[in-house]
Amino acid sequence: MKTWLVRQFTAFCALLIVLAMPSWVAAEELPVGESVYTMTEATGATNAPVSIYCYRAASWTVGRPIVFVFHGMNRNAVDYRAGWEDLADQDGLLVVCPEFTEAKYPGSRYYNTGNIMDKTNGKGQLQPKDKWVFPAIDRIIRDVKKRTGADSSPVAIFGHSAGAQMVHRYALFGGSSEAALIMPANAGWYTMPNINVNFPYGLKGVPLTEAELKAAFAKPVVILLGEADTKRTENLRQTPEADAQGENRFERGQHFYYQGASEAARIGAQFNWQVVTVPGVGHNGDAMAQAAAQVIEQLLLP
């Protein structure tokens, strides 16, 4: 009986120690190389967890950049992680690729446009803000920082193609962000910062205040565009509203930038967006990742 009581008391004390520890101490640090874990996430069409694919360079330490990479329409986070591994080793980065599966985030409604409306043809019903997907990005950022203790690490966000659609709308509608750099690359079409055009092609019909729009213009956004991304493929949206933005991805990305500059000037907002074009590159996620890594080197690395 005495031995049983000792064991119970010892177990109780151990539990108290764990509960008293800061949460980041109890969390497992992400290992060097490839890893994957799941996290609970309430957004989406189901309550399924989100898989987070990571690659940590051996030279990455707390204080060096963390790059959050958002895949395209194929929902292939593993492939995007592979495309960033050499770049991570080169610059000492931690790369994090969340996978927004078709089952949990079906169609362009939940991924590309973040479930702001239940349809993406301009005739949908506005969804409650707590159902929008953009807060998931910030929760993933906080979770990774918690696991690594890397509160001081600057955050870069990169999205290609459909991921760029998610990322540029995150810049517009996501509110405050911990990101030091937001890089949408080769989006097929955009929500233009134009209050006279209906969502999803513009801001009309979405509750975005002028103060919130000014905050979006102040964010560190770098729009990456492949100069050879000019083909009108079957995956390129070809509606009258999308074609009003340009004939192809390259033209539409430039239009997004200039529309932002014009609207920022109209409302007297600070405008921190830039556009960077990449010669000879078409709709290629790996090649655009290389361009994004160069921007990170210039802006976030000593």
DSSP, residue by residue, the chain: -HHHHHHHHHHHHHHHHHHHS-HHHHSPPPPSEEEEEEE----SSS-PPEEEEEEE-TT--BTB-EEEEE--TT--HHHHHHHHHHHHHHHT-EEEEEE--TTTS-HHHHTTTTTSBS-SSS-PPBPPGGG-STHHHHHHHHHHHHHHT-TTS-EEEEEETHHHHHHHHHHHHS-S--EEEEEEES-SS---S-TTSBTTTSSBTS---HHHHHHHHTS-BEEEEETT-----TTS--SHHHHTT-SSHHHHHHHHHHHHHHHHHHHT-----EEEEETT--S-HHHHHHHHHHHHHHHT--
* pLDDT at residue 16 greater than cutoff 80: no
Going by C-beta distance under 8 Å and a sequence separation of 6 or more, which residues neighbour residue 76? none
pLDDT score of 70: 98
* pLDDT at residue 12 greater than cutoff 90: no
pLDDT score of 122: 80
pLDDT tens-digit map of 90-129? 999 999 999 999 999 999 999 999 999 999 888 889 999 9
Q: Would you state the structure tokens that stand for residue 225, as one six-digit string?
A: 């565009």
Q: List the domain boundaries for the chain.
A: 32-299
Q: Would you state the structure tokens that stand for residue 47, as one six-digit string?
A: 């309550």
% pLDDT > 90, the chain: 88
pLDDT score of 188: 98
* pLDDT at residue 5 greater than cutoff 70: no
Q: How far apart are CA 280 and CA 179, in angstroms?
A: 29
State the average pLDDT over residues 241-266.
98
Q: How far apart are CA 21 and CA 5, in angstroms?
A: 25
Identify whether the C-beta of residue 96 lies closer than 8 Å to the C-beta of residue 144. yes
Q: Please give the mean pLDDT across all residues of the chain.
A: 91
Decide which of 16 and 59 is more confident.
Answer: 59
Q: Would you state the structure tokens that stand for residue 292, as one six-digit string?
A: 């994004």
Residue 28 — very low, low, confident or very high, per pLDDT cuts 50/70/90?
low
Residue 191 — very low, low, confident or very high, per pLDDT cuts 50/70/90?
very high
Q: Would you state the structure tokens that stand for residue 160, as one six-digit string?
A: 């290609």
Q: How far apart are CA 200 and CA 112, in angstroms?
A: 10
The domain 32-299 is classified under which CATH number: 1.10.1040.10, 3.40.50.1820, 3.40.50.2300, 3.30.420.40? 3.40.50.1820
The count of other CB atoms within 10 Å of the CB of residue 220 is: 18
% pLDDT > 70, the chain: 91
Residue 20 — very low, low, confident or very high, per pLDDT cuts 50/70/90?
very low
The count of other CB atoms within 10 Å of the CB of residue 140 is: 17
pLDDT tens-digit map of 136-174? 999 999 999 999 999 999 999 999 999 999 999 999 999
State the average pLDDT over residues 230-248.
96
